[in-house]
Amino acid sequence: MFYLFRRKPAPIRANLRGGPLAPSIRGVVNFYNAPGGTLVCADIRGLPPYQAATNANPVGPHGFHLHENGTCEIGDPDNPFLAAGGHWNPDNQPHGNHAGDFPVLFSNNGVARMCFFTNRFKPIDVLGRSVIIHENPDDYRSQPAGNAGKRLACGVIRKYPL
């Protein structure tokens, strides 16, 4: 599976940048057209170190979602990227089954690499939306958005030349 990270970048991708709460985050999320859906591949660096939950929420694994709006406007530096809206949910499913609900990202010394397949959309369907990395893991139950905490990084999904 390692070859997936050495492929040419997909023509549809999001370049992620950390916001004021985690400025060191940088990464790319590629959306590859696949039979019956999309292969989503993420290569993220600069994630904060894991902190187990004690009397507060943990830091990591990190919630990872598609959001409705294609903007990474910071707005409030203490609660950034709210302009990206909620999770993308084109078929009005309960949380945990949104098309924009992705698996959590696990940081390994600040690095997370992951690929997964989804049949919920094709790459063209997500153009102009955003990808968000959250501080906490998604619980996949709380409505409407999984209680994943503050938004650490954002990237708008765009089409790039090959």
- Model confidence pLDDT, tens digit, residues 3-39: 444 556 668 999 999 999 999 999 999 999 999 999 9
Q: How confident is the model at residue 161 (pLDDT cuts 50, 70, 90)?
A: confident
CA dist list (Å): 159 to 25, 32, 129: 22, 12, 11
Global confidence as pTM: 0.87
Name the residue range of residue 32's domain.
Answer: 2-159
Structure tokens at 33: 């057209």
- Give per-residue pLDDT as tens, 63-112: 999 999 999 999 999 999 999 999 899 998 877 788 888 999 999 999 99
Q: Please list, in sequence order, all residues whose beta carbon lies within 8 angstroms of the beta carbon of residue 3, skipping any fewer than 6 positions away.
A: none
Total of domains in the chain: 1
Amino acid at 16: L
What are the backbone angles phi and psi of residue 134, rounded to the nearest 5°? -105, 165
Res 149: pLDDT: 86
Structure tokens at 54: 């004690």
CATH of the domain at 27: 2.60.40.200
Rg of the chain in Å (alpha carbons): 15
In residues, how long is the chain? Answer: 162
